[in-house]
Structure 1
């Protein structure tokens, strides 16, 4: 009989795992997961082939920004922006990298932009900023995502001879 009570106590304590526990609903779990995601940061920044070998996240980001800035400056150096607007030394360019690896460039004019023909500058940028090398989009949780950032592009004044 003593063994029977021990066996019964053993069954009773082990059966606690079979008692129905309250499980959160799918919506609650989804909301909790969405709140835990930092939407301002990506897991991997966009990158170009020149930066693929860099493993550290911040250095890879800096490499990407440096390469894109250099390419933009090279494409704008051959244009007449520095002649048309000699006092314009820097343009803020909003760069958008889409999940399908396409890029879009838009000037981001500051409040002093009334001094410049923004439509003309925009059309020059759109005409010149084409045929960039393939860009791998940013990655968030294993999926490619759209990213936007603003790069300051220095317009170099051409040598006058």
Structure 2
């Protein structure tokens, strides 16, 4: 028994190292998580109320873009834009949806009078349906995209 006791003591002192755990640095863990996030995509795209009932993510996205393009075409396809900007047949609109439900529209077309075009777009897009912001990791985030709006149909 006297021979076994020193061996057990030596073993128990050595085995304590197996129970030690390295606690990771919180900044290191945060940096690892940040690197994992794809900052160029969102978990859920912006949405309109008519599209919320769809279960499939891709169908909801397609519904959103189709309905928004249709609503914008109805608002912007008027004689004012056709008369003031006869060279434009399709508007490339940059749409920015903020987390607080605010929406901004800006033309991406290169015309001689972009400021005038943007003011017409701003006045004509009043009263569009409420757009739900995009969601990233459970948080509403700002999203930007460009949507083509056909002004003149051939």
3-state SS in 1 of match to 2:64: helix
Distance 2:24 2:17 in 1: 19
Which runs of 5 or more residues in structure 1 are unaligned?
none
1:13 Cα deviation after fit = 7.6
1:14 Cα deviation after fit = 6.1
Distance 1:127 1:23 in 2: 57
Partner of 1:137: 133
Distance 1:5 1:91 in 2: 86
Distance 1:30 1:149 in 2: 29
- Number of aligned residue pairs: 153
Partner of 1:18: 19
Partner of 1:44: 44
Most deviating of 24-33 and 73-82: 73-82
Partner of 1:81: 81
Partner of 1:125: 121
Question: What TM-score results when the alignment is normalised by the length of structure 1?
Answer: 0.82
Cα root mean square deviation, aligned: 2.3
Question: What TM-score results when the alignment is normalised by the length of structure 2?
Answer: 0.86
Distance 1:108 1:86 in 2: 16
Distance 1:96 1:71 in 2: 16
3-state SS in 1 of match to 2:146: strand
8 Å CA contact 1:86, 1:157 repeated in 2: no
